[in-house]
Chain A
Amino acid sequence: MSLDKPYLDVPGTTIFDAEQSRKGYHLNQFCMSLMKAANRERFKSDERAYLDEWPMTEDQKLAVLARDLNRCIALGGNIYFLAKIGATDGKSFQQMAGSMTGMTEIEYRDMMIGGGRSADGNRVVGEDGDAQAQHQPQGQAGRAKSGAN
């Protein structure tokens, strides 16, 4: 019997369920290790060597090195764990969240001050809201991409 996963059609969203957690176990536990100052220092001095101490997949390691949080999440990462990488880099939660949209820090901050992202058009895959796949990346990164086309 299959599991009930009614959240798979929410756009721009990955629900951290048991399956994601299984895939991301070592990635998330690596993140957890960064709660110790000594580990943060060792990671910063040689990121690749530190990552190689963990039984993570190569894709997971590359996503961490690139600080590609969307990719980390696709590979089983959870934002509360990934936030430890941001803390190590001296980034705020808002900077981390914004980095997943393509917007600049200022663009994202202004969106929040303006009342945040609307749910309209962003409830179900296939609508036309700004979080839908056809509108990625957003903000400056998106304009740069369409300008190049």
Chain B
Amino acid sequence: MAKITASVYTSHVPAIGAALDLGKSSEPYWQPVFQGYEYSKQWMKDNKPDVIFLIYNDHATAFSLEMIPTFAIGTAAEFTPADEGWGPRPVPKVIGHPELAAHIAQSVIQQDFDLTIVNKMDVDHGLTVPLSLMCGQPQAWPCPVIPFAVNVVQYPVPSGQRCFNLGKAIRKAIESFDQPLNVQIWGTGGMSHQLQGPRAGLINKAFDNAFLDRLIADPAGQAAVPHIDYVREAGSEGIELVMWLIARGAMADIEGGPPPRVAHRFYHVPASNTAVGHLILENS
């Protein structure tokens, strides 16, 4: 049977992708950011998964206001890096895993989460920046990736509690797939940031670090935190952090297993407008 071996959490700031693509990663501004992922790149080599289930949000790229799915699972064989207006990122095509994705879609819908099934979709920096941070600049990504896009652009976005419960359903779905796959689940976005209005530039280190502490040790408690607390404390775009709760809800301890091992934790301010947070949690 397939198994979730670890979860990875990271911000997906577009400027990080641009810094890497333009060869600026060793500049003093960016060096501390990439330094925080050195451990992670080695960890990826040592713990190469068969599939990554990658939770992110689309930023008015694949989804305009014509259609706004709350939860969308990518079931295609491949996904092209999008042109977001600055030209497409020079990164490898994303290869999907249609068989596992279709299995997860069926199982999760049967568990009462109404997923939108997407067979054609370009993927933006929300998906490709985490891959770059964890894998560097390879010719091809190390394994297939199932994109899972969450609406955090138009309010109301799904609650932390619903995201956490969805994670539990995804875990059941993956662990009922009849192939011995090693699956990682990644939750991306955040941490504190606000990109709009006179309050643009908001950063809240205390909130972010408390979020990291609680995501590790008390995820059910964190799941109960309402949207408004994220907006007020972590900025209007800090709401992206609810996506981390999907990945956390899929870890073994939520269903009575042992607590995960914290393999890596990193926090840095700033990357452009945003606080960068990163965690690797392993199931034992």
Residues of A within 8 A of B (CB): 6-7, 10-18, 21, 25, 28-29, 31-32, 34-35, 40, 69-70, 73, 78-81, 83-84, 86-88, 92-94, 96-98, 100-102, 108, 111-113, 115-119, 122-124, 131, 133, 136-138
Tell me the nearest residue of chain B to A132, going by C-beta.
Answer: B198
Chain A residue contacts of B198, Cβ below 8 A: 11-12, 70, 100-102, 131, 133, 136-138
Chain A residue contacts of B65, Cβ below 8 A: 21, 25, 28-29, 32, 81
| Among candidates A25, A100, A113, A124, residue contacting B270 with C-beta atoms closer than 8 Å | A113
> Is B203's CB under 8 angstroms from A116's CB?
yes
> Is B228's CB under 8 angstroms from A6's CB?
yes
| Stretch from B108-116, B140-148, B153-161, B247-255 at the A interface | B153-161
> Is B200's CB under 8 angstroms from A119's CB?
no
Q: B92 an interface residue at 8 Å Cβ cutoff?
A: no
> Is A93's CB under 8 angstroms from B195's CB?
yes
Q: Cα distance A80–B237 when bound, in Å? A: 10
> Is A73's CB under 8 angstroms from B196's CB?
yes
**Would you give the shortest CB distance from A1 to chain B, in whole angstroms?**
16
> Is B204's CB under 8 angstroms from A119's CB?
yes
Q: Known contacts A116-B270, A119-B207; is A13 also within 8 Å of B228 by CB?
A: no
Chain A residue contacts of B273, Cβ below 8 A: 93-94, 97, 112
Residues of B within 8 A of A (CB): 14-15, 29, 59-61, 64-66, 83-86, 153-156, 192, 194-205, 207, 226-228, 231-233, 236-237, 269-270, 272-273, 275
> Is B153's CB under 8 angstroms from A78's CB?
yes
**Would you give the shortest CB distance from A54 to chain B, in whole angstroms?**
13
Interface residues of B, dominant DSSP = loop
> Is A117's CB under 8 angstroms from B203's CB?
yes
Tell me the nearest residue of chain B to A94, going by C-beta.
Answer: B272
| Among candidates B61, B204, B231, residue contacting A15 with C-beta atoms closer than 8 Å | B231
Q: Cα distance A13–B66 when bound, in Å? A: 24
Q: Cα distance A79–B178 when bound, in Å? A: 43
Q: Known contacts A17-B155, A93-B14; is A32 also within 8 Å of B201 by CB?
A: no
Of listed B84, B195, B237, residue having the most chain A CB within 10 A: B195
Chain A residue contacts of B153, Cβ below 8 A: 16, 78, 80
> Is B60's CB under 8 angstroms from A32's CB?
yes
Chain B residue contacts of A35, Cβ below 8 A: 61, 83-85
Of listed A112, A115, A138, residue having the most chain B CB within 10 A: A112
**Would you give the shortest CB distance from A74 to chain B, in whole angstroms?**
9
